[in-house]
C-alpha cells in the first residue's frame, strides 16, 4: 500500500505535475477504501505495446535460465551471519582513501562511494570518515558528557541518562567543508567518490541539545556560544553560536537504527544539521556554555576560507546548496546510444532543495529533473531525468536551487569571487564529459571542468 506520508513529500518538477500527483494520490486513497488500488492506478496509462526503457532487456531469449550451484544444493543457513554483511559480489563498493591525500599509516580520510549508492541513505559501513587523531575505541559505560559554563546546574550524564530524555530521529546529510577541495584549482580526479565523497546522509536518533541545555539551566541572558569537545586524541572543539545550538542540534547515540559506529563517534556525537561536518563533534564529552567563541585551531588555522586578498573568512557554518550526477558518472561507461535515466543527489545546508536542472550540453540548455525520494530539510534529495542519448559527445551538469532561492554557481563564477587559495566550500557545478559512441574512447565518462 502507498505510504501517505512519503507520497505527500515527493515533490515533482512542475506545478501541473504536482497537481496531477495530488489528484492521483487522492484517487488512490479513495480506491484503497474500495480495495482496488492497483488495478485502477495501473490501468490508467498502461499500454502493453509501449516499453518504458526500450533499450534495456532487448535481447532474444534463446536459452533456458542457468541453474548454478546455488540451485542444486542448500544455501547458507541462518547462523552464518549473526550480523549481516553485503554479498561478496559487491565487495568493490567500499569507502576509500587516496594514498597522496592521507599517506600516513593511520589514514585520516575515507570517502563514500556515492556512485554506487541508491536513494538517500548511506549504509553505516560506507559512511565517510575523517579523523584528526584516529578513531577512538570507547566503551559506553566509561563515557560521560559534562555540561558546564554559563548554566545554573552543571551536569554530568552517562549514555543511559541521555536515553531517558525524549528522543528524535532525523535524516540529515553530513558534509566536510573540504568536500571537493581537490578540485578547487582544476580537475584532478575521475570519480564522484573523490569529487564529492566526503559526505554521507543517514538517520540519526538522539536527544535535543536544547533539552540538555535547559536541563542544566542555561543562562540565556549571558550565553552566546557553546563549545563542544571530543574525547578522542584530537581534542576536537568548535564554537557554535547559541542560535544554532538551540535550533535543531541534537546529541545522537544512534545512526540508521543502530548505535553509532566508532568511526562516527561512538557512543555519542553532536549533530549540527546543515552545518560544516567539522562542527559535528564526535565522542562528545563536554559542552561549555560561553559568552565568547573559543578561537580553537580548527576555526582559525583550519576551516577558514583564504580569500584572494590574503584575508581569511571565518565561521562559514552552513553548507551551500550543491548537487552532483551520480549516474552516469566517471566510474561507468555508457552501454550504447539510447534511453537512460540520469540521476544524482542534491542537498542544501540552508533547508530543502526546491528544484534541480540538468544539462546534457555543458550548460547551454537546461531541463528540470524530478525527485524520486522524499524532499527533507538539510538532507540529500534524489533527482532523476530521462535522457535519450544519440551517441554524440555530451556534457552532463546538474544545478540545484534551494528553497531560499540560492542557485548553485558554475565553477568560473565561484573562482572569480573566491580565487584559488581557498580549499573549503567548493560547491560549484561539476561536468561529466561523455565521449561520442564511435570515437576512440566511445562511451567513456570523464570529469572535466567548465
Ligand X SMILES: Nc1nc2c(c(=O)[nH]1)N[C@H]1C(S)=C(S)[C@@H](COP(=O)(O)O)O[C@H]1N2
**Cα(411)–Cα(426) distance, rounded to whole angstroms?**
8
**Is residue 130 at the binding interface for Mo ion, with CB under 5 A as the rule?**
yes
**Is residue 176 at the binding interface for ligand X, with CB under 6 A as the rule?**
yes
**Is residue 193 at the binding interface for ligand X, with CB under 6 A as the rule?**
no
**Is residue 304 at the binding interface for ligand X, with CB under 6 A as the rule?**
no
Q: Indicate left, alpha or beta for 87 from its phi (over 0: left) and psi (-120 to 50: alpha).
A: beta
Return the one option of ligand X, Mo ion, none that residue 431 interacts with (CB less than 5 to 8 A, by type): none
Choice from 218, 242, 252, 281 touching ligand X (CB under 6 A) = 281
Write out the three cell numbers for 256: 540508521
In whole angstroms, the minimum distance from the beta carbon of 423 to Mo ion comes to 11
In whole angstroms, the minimum distance from the beta carbon of 22 to Mo ion comes to 41
**Cα(408)–Cα(353) distance, rounded to whole angstroms?**
11
**Is residue 283 at the binding interface for ligand X, with CB under 6 A as the rule?**
yes
Return the one option of ligand X, Mo ion, none that residue 345 interacts with (CB less than 5 to 8 A, by type): none
In whole angstroms, the minimum distance from the beta carbon of 130 to Mo ion comes to 5
Choice from 95, 130, 208, 425 touching ligand X (CB under 6 A) = 130
User: Around Cβ 5, how many Cβ atoms within 10 Å?
Assistant: 8
In whole angstroms, the minimum distance from the beta carbon of 250 to ligand X comes to 15
**Cα(346)–Cα(383) distance, rounded to whole angstroms?**
7
Q: Which of 426, 235, 439 has the alpha carbon at shortest distance from 333?
A: 439
Choice from 127, 196, 399, 433 touching ligand X (CB under 6 A) = 127
| Phi, psi (degrees; rounded to nearest 5) at 25 | -65, -45
Choose one: 59-67, 170-178, 182-190, 436-444; the region binding Mo ion (CB under 5 A). 170-178
**Cα(426)–Cα(185) distance, rounded to whole angstroms?**
10
Specify burial of residue 400 (Cβ count, 10 A radius: 0-12, 13-18, 19+).
buried
**Cα(377)–Cα(429) distance, rounded to whole angstroms?**
21
Return the one option of ligand X, Mo ion, none that residue 196 interacts with (CB less than 5 to 8 A, by type): none
DSSP 333: B
**Cα(380)–Cα(200) distance, rounded to whole angstroms?**
9
Choice from 151, 208, 232, 371 touching ligand X (CB under 6 A) = 232
Helix and strand counts by DSSP (H, E) for the chain: 9, 23
Q: Three-state SS for 182? A: helix
User: Around Cβ 380, how many Cβ atoms within 10 Å?
Assistant: 28
**Is residue 264 at the binding interface for ligand X, with CB under 6 A as the rule?**
yes
**Is residue 96 at the binding interface for ligand X, with CB under 6 A as the rule?**
no
**Is residue 262 at the binding interface for ligand X, with CB under 6 A as the rule?**
no
Nearer Cβ to ligand X (179/431): 179
**Is residue 202 at the binding interface for ligand X, with CB under 6 A as the rule?**
no
Contact (Cβ atoms closer than 8 angstroms) between residue 229 and residue 148? no
Instruction: State the Cα torsion 291-297-298-299 to the nearest 10°.
Output: 50
Return the one option of ligand X, Mo ion, none that residue 280 interacts with (CB less than 5 to 8 A, by type): ligand X
Choose one: 24-32, 280-288, 321-329, 350-358; the region binding ligand X (CB under 6 A). 280-288
Return the one option of Mo ion, ligand X, none that residue 375 interacts with (CB less than 5 to 8 A, by type): none
- β-strands 258-259, 445-448: how paired? unpaired
Order the strands of the 225-230 sheet from edge to edge: 155-157, 145-149, 284-290, 225-230, 240-241
- Binding pattern for the stretch 173-202 against Mo ion, x by CB under 5 A and - elsewhere: ---x--------------------------
At a CB cut-off of 8 Å and minimum separation 6, what does 198 contact? 109, 111, 112, 128, 130, 175, 176, 178, 179, 180, 277
Q: Count the site residues for ligand X by CB under 6 A.
A: 20
In whole angstroms, the minimum distance from the beta carbon of 177 to Mo ion comes to 6
- Binding pattern for the stretch 232-271 against Mo ion, x by CB under 5 A and - elsewhere: ----------------------------------------
**Is residue 263 at the binding interface for ligand X, with CB under 6 A as the rule?**
yes
In whole angstroms, the minimum distance from the beta carbon of 234 to Mo ion comes to 11
Choose one: 37-45, 124-132, 306-314, 432-440; the region binding ligand X (CB under 6 A). 124-132
**Is residue 234 at the binding interface for ligand X, with CB under 6 A as the rule?**
yes
Contact (Cβ atoms closer than 8 angstroms) between residue 260 and residue 268? yes
- Binding pattern for the stretch 319-358 against ligand X, x by CB under 6 A and - elsewhere: ----------------------------------------
Nearer Cβ to ligand X (281/358): 281
User: Which spans of this chain sit near ligand X (rule: CB under 6 A)?
Assistant: 127-133, 176, 230, 232, 234, 236, 263-264, 277-278, 280-283
User: Which spans of this chain sit near Mo ion (rule: CB under 5 A)?
Assistant: 130, 176, 278
Amino acid at each position: 500500500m502507498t505510504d501517505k506520508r512519503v507520497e505527500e513529500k515527493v515533490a515533482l518538477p512542475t506545478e501541473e505535475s504536482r497537481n496531477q500527483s495530488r489528484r492521483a494520490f487522492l484517487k488512490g486513497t479513495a480506491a484503497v477504501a474500495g480495495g482496488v488500488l492497483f488495478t485502477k492506478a495501473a490501468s490508467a496509462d498502461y499500454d502493453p505495446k509501449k516499453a518504458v526503457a526500450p533499450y534495456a532487456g532487448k535481447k532474444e531469449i534463446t536459452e533456458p535460465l542457468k541453474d548454478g550451484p546455488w540451485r542444486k544444493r542448500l544455501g547458507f543457513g541462518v547462523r552464518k551471519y549473526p550480523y549481516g554483511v553485503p554479498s561478496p559480489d559487491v565487495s568493490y563498493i567500499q569507502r576509500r582513501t587516496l594514498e597522496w591525500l592521507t599517506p600516513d599509516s593511520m589514514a585520516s580520510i575515507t570517502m563514500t562511494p556515492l556512485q554506487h549508492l541508491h536513494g538517500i541513505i548511506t549504509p553505516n559501513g560506507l559512511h565517510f570518515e575523517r579523523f584528526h587523531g584516529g578513531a577512538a575505541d570507547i566503551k559506553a559505560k566509561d563515557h560521560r558528557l559534562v555540561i558546564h559554563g554559563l548554566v545554573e546546574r552543571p551536569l554530568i550524564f552517562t549514555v543511559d541518562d541521555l536515553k531517558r530524555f525524549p528522543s528524535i530521529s532525523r535524516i540529515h546529510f553530513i558534509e566536510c567543508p573540504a568536500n571537493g577541495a581537490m578540485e578547487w584549482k582544476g580537475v584532478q580526479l575521475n570519480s564522484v567518490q573523490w569529487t564529492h565523497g566526503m559526505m554521507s546522509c543517514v538517520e540519526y536518533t538522539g536527544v535535543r541539545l536544547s533539552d540538555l541545555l535547559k536541563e542544566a539551566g542555561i543562562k540565556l541572558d549571558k550565553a552566546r556560544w557553546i563549545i563542544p569537545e571530543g574525547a578522542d586524541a584530537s581534542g576536537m572543539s568548535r564554537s557554535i553560536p547559541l542560535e544554532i545550538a538551540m535550533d535543531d542540534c541534537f546529541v545522537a547515540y544512534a545512526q540508521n537504527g543502530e548505535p553509532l559506529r566508532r568511526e562516527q563517534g561512538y557512543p555519542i556525537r553532536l549533530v549540527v544539521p546543515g552545518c560544516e561536518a567539522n562542527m559535528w563533534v564526535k565522542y562528545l564529552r563536554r559542552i561549555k556554555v560561553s559568552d565568547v567563541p573559543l578561537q580553537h585551531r580548527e576555526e582559525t588555522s583550519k576551516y577558514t576560507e583564504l580569500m584572494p586578498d590574503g584575508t581569511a573568512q571565518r565561521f562559514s557554518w552552513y553548507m551551500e546548496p550543491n548537487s552532483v550526477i551520480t549516474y552516469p558518472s566517471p566510474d561507468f561507461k555508457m552501454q550504447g546510444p539510447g534511453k537512460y535515466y540520469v540521476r544524482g543527489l542534491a542537498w542544501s545546508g540552508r533547508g530543502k532543495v526546491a528544484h534541480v536542472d540538468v544539462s546534457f550540453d555543458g550548460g547551454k540548455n537546461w531541463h528540470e529533473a524530478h525527485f524520486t525520494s522524499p524532499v527533507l530539510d538539510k538532507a540529500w534529495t534524489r533527482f532523476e531525468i530521462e535522457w535519450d542519448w544519440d551517441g554524440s559527445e555530451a556534457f552532463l551538469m546538474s544545478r540545484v536551487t534551494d528553497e531560499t532561492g540560492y542557485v548553485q554557481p558554475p565553477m568560473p563564477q565561484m573562482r572569480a569571487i573566491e580565487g584559488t587559495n581557498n580549499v573549503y566550500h567548493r560547491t560549484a557545478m561539476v561536468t561529466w564529459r561523455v565521449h561520442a559512441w564511435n570515437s576512440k574512447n566511445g562511451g567513456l565518462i570523464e570529469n572535466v571542468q567548465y
